[in-house]
């Protein structure tokens, strides 16, 4: 486990920060999810919490803030999912915590970054993707820009980029002995992961209206096609050799449909061809041809596909949640992910963790009574 020995304080937030914490936990970090005391102490709606430990604190009390500060002294990373200024107002911003732990890596994950005219503005993935410039590429032939659900800003440009920043800071700390602030903007992150698209803008890749270019659903040999059973097939036959194999599988002579055919004419022919049979038929046909043709699968179908099953690309946790397996795979230090993991109940590990940093039973009992800390099982013996 590559991150064994690293302790992370993840402040409970929406999807991007929990995803960042999930990545770190999957590869061996001890992730303490810091939950609000006002949460449901008998469960959590965070579907990315498997393998984490939950500590419930009341940040509205001075004592709750002091508990967090004490935890930070023995931690390597803090993940802050709030808008700029929130943590400073609570006196647990980077300047506050790094005075007493100069090795701390303080990751700040926001929509628009820490500074600038929109830094404190509200937003969601669609807004950050829009502001990044990436949304203008998306939507295919529709006139409406269409976000890829919340994958681009929340996860690719947000949570995963934040995890990368944390890992770089941990590596640099080995040389300098010092922590640092990792400022991750989901808007900047979405732009960064779209670098190839942005740099290719107004080149042969994207020189026409959205939905009429090579990779955005314009080219008929790079598109999705409905099959007889109402399912879909993805076609990515860009190169001539793959295009030839595509036509072979469809039973269309190449002289009848050269790759230079006008996009809409070619699309109509492929639509007619794929509608003649169901998805399974086409998958079987193209399993013997190197044509870059694959079925469009749901997560459940993907998990059960023979290739993904062989690769163990998915697994099911004990609580029934289907989850993709951690990636990448490490030869010497494999993932710590265990299908037996469960999502913690809010406050499930409060007593255990606070005892480990020196709190005594009498102190804990008092803090439970004054609602400074929360435990999921009030019958637990201190």
Predicted structure pTM score: 0.93
Separation in Å, CA 331 to CA 24, 317, 334, 335: 17, 23, 6, 10
Q: Which structural domains are found in the chain, ordered by start?
A: 7-193+318-374 (3.40.50.10540), 222-311 (3.30.1540.10)
The predicted structure's pLDDT at residue 168? 99
Active site positions, annotated: 124, 154
Neighbours of 207 (CB within 10 A): 12
**What letter would DSSP give residue 206?**
B
The predicted structure's pLDDT at residue 382? 61
**Is the dihedral angle over the CA atoms 30, 33, 34, 40 positive or is it negative?**
negative
The predicted structure's pLDDT at residue 45? 65
Residue pair 91/68 in contact by the 8 Å Cβ criterion: no
The predicted structure's pLDDT at residue 379? 42
**What letter would DSSP give residue 120?**
T
Phi, then psi, of 267 in degrees rounded to 5: -65, -40
The predicted structure's pLDDT at residue 301? 98
**What letter would DSSP give residue 134?**
G
Residue pair 80/109 in contact by the 8 Å Cβ criterion: yes
The predicted structure's pLDDT at residue 207? 78
The predicted structure's pLDDT at residue 377? 67
- Burial label, 87 (beta-carbon count in 10 A; 0-12, 13-18, 19+): buried
Name residues of the chain where pLDDT drops below 70: 38-45, 377-382
Residue where the block lists tokens 């099953």? 309
């Amino acid at each position: 486990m590559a991150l064994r020995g690293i302790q992370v304080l993840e402040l409970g937030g929406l999807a991007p920060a929990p995803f960042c914490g999930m990545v770190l936990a999957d590869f061996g970090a001890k992730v303490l999810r810091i939950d609000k005391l006002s949460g449901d102490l008998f469960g959590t709606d965070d579907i990315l919490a498997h393998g984490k430990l939950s500590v419930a604190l009341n940040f509205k009390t001075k004592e709750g803030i002091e508990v967090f500060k004490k935890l930070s002294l023995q931690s390597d990373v803090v993940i802050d999912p709030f808008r700029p200024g929130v943590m400073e107002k609570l006196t647990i911003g980077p300047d506050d915590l790094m005075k007493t732990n100069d090795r701390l890596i303080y990751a700040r994950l926001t929509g628009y970054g820490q500074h600038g005219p929109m830094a404190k503005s509200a937003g969601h993935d669609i807004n950050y993707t829009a502001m990044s410039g990436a949304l203008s590429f998306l939507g295919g032939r529709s006139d409406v820009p269409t976000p890829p659900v919340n994958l681009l800003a929340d996860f690719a440009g947000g949570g995963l980029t934040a995890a990368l920043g944390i890992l770089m800071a941990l590596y640099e700390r080995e040389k300098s002995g010092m922590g640092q602030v990792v400022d991750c903007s989901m808007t900047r992150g979405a732009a960064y992961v779209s670098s190839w698209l942005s740099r290719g803008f107004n080149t042969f890749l994207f020189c026409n209206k959205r939905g009429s270019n090579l990779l955005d659903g314009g080219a008929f040999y790079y598109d999705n096609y409905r099959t007889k059973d109402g399912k879909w097939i993805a076609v990515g036959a860009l190169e001539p050799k793959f295009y030839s194999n595509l036509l072979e599988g469809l039973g269309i002579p190449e002289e009848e449909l050269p790759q230079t055919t006008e996009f809409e004419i070619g699309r109509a022919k492929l639509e007619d061809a794929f509608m003649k049979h169901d998805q399974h038929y086409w998958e079987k046909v193209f399993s013997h041809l190197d044509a870059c043709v694959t079925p469009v699968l749901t997560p459940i179908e993907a998990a059960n596909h023979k290739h993904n099953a062989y690769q163990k690309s998915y697994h099911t946790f004990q609580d029934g949640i289907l989850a993709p397996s951690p990636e990448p795979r490490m030869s010497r230090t494999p993932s710590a992910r265990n299908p037996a993991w469960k999502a913690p109940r809010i406050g499930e590990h409060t007593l255990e963790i606070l005892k480990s940093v020196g709190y005594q039973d009498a102190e804990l009992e008092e803090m439970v009574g004054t609602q400074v800390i929360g435990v999921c099982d009030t019958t637990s013996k201190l």
